Structure 1
Amino acid sequence: MDDCQFKVSRVALVGSGAVGASYAFALLNQGITSELVIIDRNFQKAEGDAMDLNHGLPFSPLSKIWAGDYEDCGEADIVVITAGAGQAPGETRMDLINKNSRIFKDIIASVMNSGFKGIFVIATNPVDVLTYVTWKYSGLPASRVIGSGTILDTARLRFLLGQEFDVDSRNVHAYIMGEHGDTELPVWSNANIAGLSLMEYKAQHNNPTDERLEEIFVQVRDAAYHIIERKGATYYGIAMGLARLTKAILNNENSVFSVSALLDSEYGLDDVYIGVPAIINRDGIREVLKLNLSDTEQEKLHHSATVLKKAIASLDL
């Protein structure tokens, strides 16, 4: 037999709610991992999802899906956490901080007791705070604790800008940075369409106006509230983002995503997890990219970090 053995990749999903189940479905459809174990305090729900997903295996390269427990995390490459209380209509992500931080304390302890040595990916809100909580409780290097951060906000921004310019959103390069929440900010100074800066595009086409760009950003920032009003929760977009992030990790891609990462002097900030562009590979966060922000953007990012640090300080860690 060839000395080069096939590496079985395992993802452990903690939380089989709407986000978790959508993420599992995305993994199955794209054949991103070899094994998927679903863990939920409602074992019957996890088991039902596993049974349902297994019926799609004849159409996917994914090889094994089952409902398991925390012991299965010991052999996992990635543990993705979507468990926790959801955001209700009229509730901010920060309103969830106390109840979800208590839930996380038990989850992280259970995962680490399995002997887990992989990478955490956190999607539960408030995601920046809970990623910090995971880092503290797990004792893992910060590079192996990643929050979904503003990955979805950035996707929303690129989609809306693509619509505005009538350009494929995959050719729009722009980031939302900061908290995944009300203090996030658009980085217009670094936005471009296939290499043409946003400022150059505006000069050539006399649009969009600054007022229109602000309208687009507000739509991005408040998108979750509008979706929750209409259907109770958001889950498809974030599930796709999590699947893409998982693929980048397992395939050692060195791809750039606006994730929640621990800052250590970058942007003049430290000891806070916050949404920033970062290079992601098989080791987790390889590097936080340091964009040249405008003075206004830098000020807004620091304000966002202050809000997150205040939230973290309110917890008993």
Structure 2
Amino acid sequence: MLKQKVSRVVLIGAGFVGSSYAFALLNQGIVSELVIIDQNERKAEGDAMDLNHGIPFTTPMRIWAGDYSDCKDADIVVITAGVNQKPGETRLDLIGKNSSIFKQIVASIMESGFNGIFIVATNPVDVLTYVTWKYAGVSPERVIGSGTILDTARLRYMLSDAFQMDAHSIQAYIMGEHGDTELPIWSNTYVGARPMMDYVTENMGITQADLDYYFTNVRDAAYHIIDRKGATYYGIAMGLARLTKAIVRSENSILSVSSLLTGQYGLEDVYIGVPSVINHTGVREILELRLTDDEMSKFHHSAKVLKEAIQSIKL
């Protein structure tokens, strides 16, 4: 009898983001097996027990609290472990704390014989994705950061609300750092098949001031949510589940994730949020959008900030 292909995800970090991601995976029935690893073993065991009790309401899945040896047979390892952003902190403030944590985590993963794909969600995500790639010593397409996947979703939501249209009909991207230097790509934003800037230039009820307001709310969304509830986790968990599905099902989907640039947009040796084609190999291709001069300048500035942040780490 042929052995059925089993898809396994190992989740490292059972905090707010990790637990929400595990819940999203179970609800959507994306993988066959989920292993939860956390420094607090009892928390990982509790999450596994709680999730297993929901299996009668969804598709079958094996879920257990494990250890790094379980990474050997995993298709994907998702890292959400690390110190969370506190009120008043930027994502880049977390570099020193989380880079040292990642050195130990990645070493333990690779010692297991892991040969799959990394997804990194811990902030500052672009920097820590670069760190993961360096520590793991694997090909860059196998290391993906959540990047601007959530920022892009936030923008599409806000535009869908403004235009009173389904968010799936909005084509828009946030590029750059997942943080204060990110930027909206208005030149490549579409409402259905129509360029969104037509609504501005033809005076159809949307102004540039409106767009600036929407983007500011997208960029600063995390600060507002953290101020109100202490952390953000539902939105990013859904984004991670979407990214996982694109890999497991080899969808060739275009998602705005943190990928390594190797000359695209005139940049190299930096992980940064860009539209990328995602399938079972990881990042199949980075799409190069035609940016305006202003967009390109802001994108290069964002990359410069990330490169300077990377240089502060002893790799």
One-letter amino acid matched to 2:196: L
Q: Match for residue 79 of structure 2?
A: 81
2:163 to 153, 162, 165: 165
| Partner residue in 1 for 2:307 | 309
Q: Identify the residue that residue 55 of structure 1 maps to in structure 2.
A: 53
Residue of structure 1 in register with 2:4 after alignment:
6
What TM-score do you get using the length of structure 2 for normalisation? 0.99
Q: 1:282 aligns with which of 268, 272, 280?
A: 280
Shift of 1:169: 0.8
Kept after mapping to 2: 8 A contact 1:37/1:66: yes
Instruction: Name the aligned partner's letter for residue 54 of structure 1.
Output: N
- The one-letter code matched in structure 2 to 1:242 is L
Of 209, 232, 235, 2:233 maps to 235
Match of 1:187 among 179, 185, 188: 185
TM-score (norm 1): 0.98
- Count, aligned residues: 315
Task: Report the alpha carbon displacement of residue 80 of structure 1 after superposing the two structures with TM.
Answer: 0.2
Answering whether residue 252 of structure 2 is matched by residue 221 of structure 1, we say no
Match of 2:9, SS state, is: strand
Q: 1:260 aligns with which of 245, 258, 267?
A: 258
Identity %: 67
- 2:84 partner SS: coil
Q: Can you give the 5+ residue segments of structure 2 that lack an aligned partner in the other structure?
A: none
Asked whether the equivalents of residues 200 and 208 of structure 2 are also in contact (C-alpha less than 8 Å), the reply is no
More divergent stretch after superposition (57-66 vs 70-79): 57-66
Q: What aligned pairs does 1:112-151 form with structure 2 within 5 A after superposition?
A: 112-151=110-149
CA–CA separation in structure 2 for the residues paired with 1:249 and 1:297:
29
Shift of 1:57: 1.0
* CA–CA distance in structure 2, aligned partners of residues 118 and 62 of structure 1: 23
Is the 2:126–2:178 contact (alpha carbons within 8 Å) kept by the matching residues of 1? Answer: yes
Contact 1:128 1:274 in 2 (8 A): yes
Cα RMSD (Å): 0.9
1:18 equivalent among 13, 16, 19: 16
Shift of 1:207: 2.6
Shift of 1:6: 2.3
Q: CA deviation at 1:204?
A: 4.8
Counterpart secondary structure, 2:11: strand
